[in-house]
């Protein structure tokens, strides 16, 4: 599933105050990503483009690696006006329950599907719910894939255990392959599959 639930946010108060500023203003952009991460690259590209258009009237300065706080702290600082931009993660569902839909595995099929969700649902249904909380979403972008992983080396579904998956498992250092043999297959359920899994 494409995980596309990251947003750039600007507090409403900052939008109002910005126009009245005369000297160059430093606009703080906080995120939790490490150097070289998608968080960092996205934020730095945004700052580059914004600063080119601002023409010296203000300057967007990026603070990564949680320098200005974690996601929840950044949300609070946005409301207080001590941070101007933030690139939050799944914390958005704490601002509005509707944002929790992006945590559902396999909800988004592909990038074109996400474009439809953004166009037809996001701006009309979801964005207004956080604007009421004092936050303004100014853009949406992708943050990679949501995976389902397992903490157990064994799969109890014969139909999902193939020779190629065994080879991959061995290459990753697993002690043994969980592919069922003719001897063990008879003990496995013919229709029901179970897998101990958790969201990534």
Q: How far is CA 38 from the centre of its chain?
A: 10
Over residues 138-148, the pLDDT tens digits come to 888 877 766 66
Least confident of 5-9, 59-63, 78-82, 119-123: 5-9
DSSP state of 110: S
Element (H, E) at 168: helix 163-171
Q: How many Å apart are CA 39 and CA 182, to the nearest integer? A: 48
Confidence of residue 112 (pLDDT cuts 50, 70, 90): very high
Domains along the sequence of the chain with CATH: 6-141 (3.40.190.170), 150-199 (no CATH)
Q: How far is CA 179 from CA 160, 184, 186, 188, in A?
A: 9, 9, 13, 12
């Amino acid at each position: 599933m494409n995980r596309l639930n990251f947003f750039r946010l600007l507090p409403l108060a900052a939008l109002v105050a910005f126009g009245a500023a005369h000297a160059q203003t430093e606009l703080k952009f906080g995120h939790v990503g490490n150097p070289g991460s998608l968080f960092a690259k996205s934020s730095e590209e945004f700052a580059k483009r914004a600063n080119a258009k601002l023409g010296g009237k203000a300057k967007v300065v990026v603070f990564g690696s949680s320098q200005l706080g974690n996601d929840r702290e950044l949300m609070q600082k946005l409301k207080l006006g001590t941070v101007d931009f933030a690139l939050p993660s799944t914390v958005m569902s704490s601002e509005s329950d509707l944002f929790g839909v992006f945590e559902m595995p396999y909800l988004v099929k592909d990038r074109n599907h996400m474009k439809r969700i953004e166009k037809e649902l996001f701006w009309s249904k979801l964005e207004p719910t956080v604007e009421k909380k004092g936050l303004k979403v100014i853009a949406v972008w992708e943050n990679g894939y949501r995976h389902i992983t397992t903490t157990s080396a064994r799969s109890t579904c014969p139909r999902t255990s193939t020779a190629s998956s065994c080879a991959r498992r061995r290459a990753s250092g697993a002690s043994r392959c969980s592919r069922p043999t003719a001897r063990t297959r008879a003990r496995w359920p013919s229709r029901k599959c179970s897998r101990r899994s958790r969201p990534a």
